[in-house]
Amino acid sequence: MSHRILLLGAPGAGKGTQSKRLADEYGVEHVTTGDALRANKDMETEYGTPRSFMEAGDLVPDPVVNEIVEAALADADGFVLDGYPRNLEQAEFLSEITDLDAVVFLDVDDEVLVDRLTGRRVCDECGANYHVDFQPPAEAGVCDECGGELIQREDDTEETARERLQVFYDNTEPVIEHFRDEGDLVEVDGEATPDEVFARIGDVLAE
Ligand code: AP5
């Protein structure tokens, strides 16, 4: 079974949802640039803070993100990587610092993505993920796991979600083509329940 797994997909494809489950299943680290950057939104860098890029739906400059990933992978004995690489330069950097066992692309239609992003709610305390229609909490606005408040991410407005999709098509689709050309990409239809998508990923990783 593979233990250095890269999960690729557009914003809202379910990378975070599935990466957490995979990391638990295989007992490896969940390395996610999105969460790492959200935890350090106001960190001063020579390019400015991550916040300004994230709230516009743009990519944070490569040197900032590459440093985060290099440090996280150096400490990890096996990982599920989510949210990186997002352009060809990051993909080249990644291939310099590690070998991957599996690259999985979660395929989801654009309009489904926008519905997932605008309906997402996250726990302010523990980061657990919900959706107002597809994965609602038992009590509206309250986290099932820890009782924390559920909030909407600042970049989950429809306007910013569509901007993020455009950034994905301009920057990250070439990364997917790169792995497809190399013959390393396995594609999974991500339009099903989270349990079904998880089962589909398990099947392709077992092959
Ligand atoms: P990041 O946090 O990585 O966001 P993203 O790629 O846009 O992905 P999301 O977290 O929005 O979606 P996801 O695919 O994880 O979906 P999820 O499982 O939550 O990045 C945010 C920003 O940080 C970027 O815009 C950029 O500025 C910066 N950044 C990050 N990495 C960077 C990098 N490498 N370089 C430069 N900048 C970087 O699911 C979404 C919703 O759908 C949830 O509500 C969930 O409940 C629901 N859902 C999930 N699965 C299903 C299902 N099967 N059926 C129904 N609903 C589902």
**pLDDT at residue 2, rounded to an integer:** 53
Whether residue 62 contacts residue 90, with contact meaning beta carbons closer than 8 Å, is answered with: yes
Q: Look at 2 and 133; give whichever has higher pLDDT.
A: 133
For 54-81, write each residue's pLDDT tens digit: 999 999 999 999 999 999 999 888 999 9
Residue corresponding to tokens 């301009």: 170
Residue 12 has pLDDT above 90, yes or no: yes
Cα–Cα nearest to 5, from 84, 122, 64:
84
Residues within a 6 A CB radius of ligand 1: 9, 11-17, 33-34, 37, 53-54, 57-60, 65, 83-84, 86, 90, 116-117, 120, 129-131, 134-135, 155, 164, 192-194, 197
What does the block give as tokens for 180? 């497809």
**Residue 13 and residue 82: Cα distance in Å, rounded?**
11
Q: How far is CA 54 from the centre of its chain?
A: 14
Identify whether 86 is a catalytic site residue. Answer: yes
**pLDDT tens, position by position, 90-140:** 999 999 999 999 999 999 999 999 999 999 999 999 999 999 999 999 999
Residue 183 to residues 1, 50, 52, 104, Cα–Cα distance (Å): 18, 34, 36, 12
Nearest-angstrom CA–CA distance, 87 and 49 = 20
Among 153, 162, 180, 200, the active-site one is: 153
